[in-house]
Structure 1
Amino acid sequence: MEMCYRVICAFLLLALLSCLLMRKHKRKPQAKVRLPPGSTGWPYIGETLQLYSQDPNIFFATKQKRYGDIFKTQVLGYPCVMLASPEAARYVLVTQAHLFKPTYPRSKERMIGPWALFFHQGDYHMRLRKLVQGSLAPDNLRGLVPDIEAIVTSMLDSWDGRVVKTFHAMKRFSFDVGILTIFGGRLEERHKQELKRNYFIVDKGYNSFPINIPGALFHKAIQARKRLRQILNEIMSERRRKGVMNKDLLGCLMESSSDKDEHLSDDQISDNIIGALFAAQDTTASVLTWILKYLHDNPKLLEAVKAEQMGIHETNGYGNQPLTWTQTRSMVLTRRVILESLRMASIISFTFREAVVDVEYNGYLIPKGWKVMPLFRNIHHNPQFFRDPQKFDPSRFETAPKPNTFWPFGNGVHSCPGNELAKLEMFIFIHHLVTKFRWEVEGSQSGIEYSPFLVPKHGLPAKLRRASGTISSDAA
């Protein structure tokens, strides 16, 4: 009897220990995998107002200092995980990109078009990306240099002696270059003007509150978006009727067929053309605006850049011969100015992704459906990677940055395919600006606007004057 009692007690004790061990084992992953630290702010609103009403440097830096390189928040009604280390950004955008899909608010997708390549991943995305990259290959860009140069000189000549909001002028410039790249300079003037008029209505309503009622900016933008589709239909119909397919972006899209001999639909082509216009405009215009300000604020640097560009200018007979692709590749100091402007301004502060499954990273859980935001600005302004990061210092690019610390155009399969075009615009603009003009910034030279890209206050009003001893390209 006593033996039986002991056996029963031993069995119960063993069962209890087993139960405790099982419970401990079940809790173990939960103890290890937890949500990142941070605050989600107010219900639904979260911390949206804090993010969009102040310098993003302050918002991100405060969070990073308090919580570390990974923290949670809530923005635009979505729970988010923000990542401020190069390793984490690479994890999301490159090494484990299949776990995270690109994501945009529904109103943005509707404005541009659901078939635009940056809303997709997988086979369709790769097909479209190859087409865009092919149309922007160096051989094609080389042929665009004279046309981009003509756009630059025309813009600067029209600016001579006037006070102009730099950012707005750069938006028009970037739009004209986008039209050139997409349509190859063969677009009828009536189509160009209609595209420009309706595109800028769409652009104005792109970041407005999505209220689709008559009179609202969003409603006007939606109507203008429909007209853009009609104009693009006309252009495609004319090309097909004439039987001529050019090697511009539109031609590449219209001639493309998949392995199954499937051609892109007109809706798919239109969405990607409008997407290309958006991608080509605000970011490039913002960087060009900052370049003008940084050069203005650094007279010694401006003189050094001018000396480099005057050497090329003299080689070209003081403007009697056009710039060449090879010459733009030889602008060593100017290139460093562009790279430092991209780092300092960090126009794209972050990018949005969405976890397609529950993801564990560095002991933290990123739940399925949560937004994930690699913070390019934090990385670009981290003193561990860039000494004295708030100082504008192009000499830092005399040597290559540490791997994965400089991503002005993103990284991975969704990095910007037009980055070489954007830099080409900057090279040509700087060349003609510093060799032919002098300029002064009007009004306050401090302050930043967030709309949503960072630009100097009031779009940087500036007055250009032709430098003594120079003449316009038309007069030449």
Structure 2
Amino acid sequence: MDIIFGIFSTTTIYLFLFLSTLLYYHFSKRHHKKHKLTPNLPPGSMGWPYIGETLLLYSKDPNTFFSDKQKRYGDVFKTHILGCPCVMLASPEAARFVLVTNADLFKPTYPKSKEKMIGPSALFFHQGEYHHLVRKLVQSSLSPVAIRRLIPGIEDIAKSMLDSWASREVINTFQAMKKFSFEVGILAIFGHLDKQYKEELKKNYSIVDKGYNSFPTNLPGTPYHKALMARKKLSQILEEIIAERKEKKLLENDLLGHLLNFKNDKGETLNDEQIADNIIGVLFAAQDTTASALTWILKYLHDDPKLLEGVKAEQMEIHLSNEKESRGLTWTQTRNMPLTYKVILESLRMSSIVSFTFREAVVDIEYNGYLIPKGWKVMPLFRNIHHNPEFFNEPQNFDPRRFEVAPKPNTYLPFGTGAHSCPGNELAKLEMLILIHHLVNKLRWEVVGPRDMVAHSPFPVPYNGLPSRFWKEPKKEVQPWKEPEKEELCH
């Protein structure tokens, strides 16, 4: 009996071990499969604890930092900068994935200090219905149909600015262009604004602008504290302008008019704070980017005398026609400046003023076999796409004629793409065309100092704002421009 019991016990033990092994194998295989199905993080380095690779980013040109990473890891890579784990995306397909086809999975994200400075109700801090409604208002007030009426006003601003430059004194081109783009912004937002209001807005906006990229320490005397105080003053000034408009029941066709006249299906309107935040947001979005683009255009034209002569010939033909008929620029003429327009497009590609954009993953997302964890920042790298030889031949060369053929889809993104693309891009291009028209017809200029060094503040601008001298163009007969061979045009 003991022998039989011993055999039974031994058999039971072996059977138990056998079944346990089978179960272990089954569950470990399932776990292994599940583990294999979980995508890995993209390749890359996260740098030091807490600070990540932020110091490395700021110790070199940010564009070099990102392009070196792309060469090493490919079009999708991870890093840790500005206190955030990030996934960088350097392909057209990835940019479209984040900004267009799956835009609802990636929310716009900005530091709280920036939101406070501009105003939390500004449209580019939002998604969903509120963003859609406000964007529609801004876009309709800055559409091609709406901005045609601004041409005479922009011309007056351009002529006045150029006359003030024509003294042969060295001026900071970028700062001069900021004044120009600010004046155009005021015109688009308010129409013809009372001089006192304009001066108060200019003074306080300048303080906010200086403190926007400063270290966010809210201590008295710091640039950030001064900027916050000036931001409150801006709100007060805008409240006065809004109250005056409401009292007089003015139905202007400018941006402020569109914001004031808005009423949704439920009869709800925008409050004064929402209107003020969006006005300041539009000013911020328009000023530095347009000013930087114009500064680069002057640099590229200055560096290529043959190209400059071609632009002059194109613009002189329009000028002589208008002089004969005693009229200003027309909308049709601004649509028929092919060489000048290609110069603008190529300048935006070369300089890539908005080099990247910030988004944040709202859920865990898989892209191209890699995991993008919830809460991580996601940055489509526009500059890397613009400077990829796969999409733009010899991308380091300034060649406007490359735009005789339309770029491949999602490879040219100077104004972003998707629901958060720049709603004022048509106005920006119009003011560039108008300024170039009057600049090349009225003035000549010489760049003083280094031309190939770049500063980041935070947009890329030529070193020291491209110091230049301007003087009046002597009158002479301009010969029709003959397009040179490609190697002559490119430098």
- TM-score, with length taken from structure 2: 0.93
1:376 and 1:365 map into 2 onto residues whose CA distance is 21
Query: Is 1:266 paired with 2:277?
Result: no
User: Residue 113 of structure 1 corresponds to which residue in structure 2?
Assistant: 119
Query: Is 1:310 paired with 2:316?
Result: yes
Tell me if the contact between 1:44 and 1:76 (Cα under 8 Å) persists in the aligned partners: no
- 1:121-147 Cα distance to aligned partner (Å, 9 max, x none): 000000000000110122211100010
Most deviating of 345-354 and 258-267: 258-267
One-letter code aligned to 2:312: K
User: Residue 391 of structure 1 corresponds to which residue in structure 2?
Assistant: 397
User: Residue 484 of structure 2 corresponds to which residue in structure 1?
Assistant: none
Most deviating of 311-320 and 378-387: 311-320
CA positional deviation for 1:21: 2.0
Of residues 451, 461, 464 in structure 1, which corresponds to 2:457? 451
Most deviating of 102-111 and 135-144: 135-144
Of residues 127, 133, 146 in structure 2, which corresponds to 1:127? 133
Of residues 149, 162, 170 in structure 2, which corresponds to 1:163? 170
Most deviating of 7-16 and 339-348: 7-16
Query: Closer, same or farther in 2 for the Cα pair 1:445/1:27, shift >3 Å?
Result: closer
Aligned residues: 467
Tell me if the contact between 1:313 and 1:319 (Cα under 8 Å) persists in the aligned partners: no
One-letter code aligned to 1:175: F
One-letter code aligned to 1:27: H
User: Residue 28 of structure 1 corresponds to which residue in structure 2?
Assistant: 36
Aligned residue runs from structure 1 range 10-409, under 5 A: 11-30=19-38, 33-161=39-167, 162-185=169-192, 187-317=193-323, 320-409=326-415
Most deviating of 202-211 and 244-253: 244-253
CA positional deviation for 1:8: 5.2
- 1:101-131 Cα distance to aligned partner (Å, 9 max, x none): 0000010000000000000000000000000
Query: Is 1:439 paired with 2:445?
Result: yes
1:273 and 1:321 map into 2 onto residues whose CA distance is 32
1:15 and 1:51 map into 2 onto residues whose CA distance is 51
User: Residue 473 of structure 1 corresponds to which residue in structure 2?
Assistant: none
Tell me if the contact between 1:73 and 1:80 (Cα under 8 Å) persists in the aligned partners: yes
Structure 2 residue runs without a partner (length 5+):
477-491
Most deviating of 35-44 and 456-465: 35-44
Query: Closer, same or farther in 2 for the Cα pair 1:53/1:184, shift >3 Å?
Result: farther
Tell me if the contact between 1:52 and 1:450 (Cα under 8 Å) persists in the aligned partners: no
Please give the root-mean-square deviation of Cα atoms over the aligned residues, in Å.
Answer: 1.5
1:423 and 1:319 map into 2 onto residues whose CA distance is 25
2:82 and 2:120 map into 1 onto residues whose CA distance is 20
2:206 and 2:158 map into 1 onto residues whose CA distance is 20
CA positional deviation for 1:163: 1.9
CA positional deviation for 1:96: 0.4
CA positional deviation for 1:231: 0.2
SS at match of 1:101: strand
CA positional deviation for 1:13: 4.2
1:244 and 1:198 map into 2 onto residues whose CA distance is 26
One-letter code aligned to 1:263: T
1:300 and 1:466 map into 2 onto residues whose CA distance is 20
2:190 and 2:59 map into 1 onto residues whose CA distance is 38
SS at match of 1:316: helix
Most deviating of 409-418 and 256-265: 256-265
Structure 1 residue runs without a partner (length 5+):
471-476
SS at match of 1:79: strand
2:217 and 2:147 map into 1 onto residues whose CA distance is 40
1:43 and 1:266 map into 2 onto residues whose CA distance is 44
Most deviating of 457-466 and 438-447: 438-447
Tell me if the contact between 1:80 and 1:371 (Cα under 8 Å) persists in the aligned partners: yes
SS at match of 2:323: coil
CA positional deviation for 1:183: 0.2
Query: Closer, same or farther in 2 for the Cα pair 1:319/1:365, shift >3 Å?
Result: farther
SS at match of 2:393: coil
- 1:295-341 Cα distance to aligned partner (Å, 9 max, x none): 00000000111111111111112693200111000000111000000
SS at match of 1:317: helix
One-letter code aligned to 1:179: I
1:247 and 1:311 map into 2 onto residues whose CA distance is 33
2:465 and 2:17 map into 1 onto residues whose CA distance is 82
SS at match of 2:360: strand
Query: Closer, same or farther in 2 for the Cα pair 1:463/1:319, shift >3 Å?
Result: farther
Query: Closer, same or farther in 2 for the Cα pair 1:329/1:254, shift >3 Å?
Result: same
CA positional deviation for 1:227: 0.3
- TM-score, with length taken from structure 1: 0.95
CA positional deviation for 1:436: 1.5
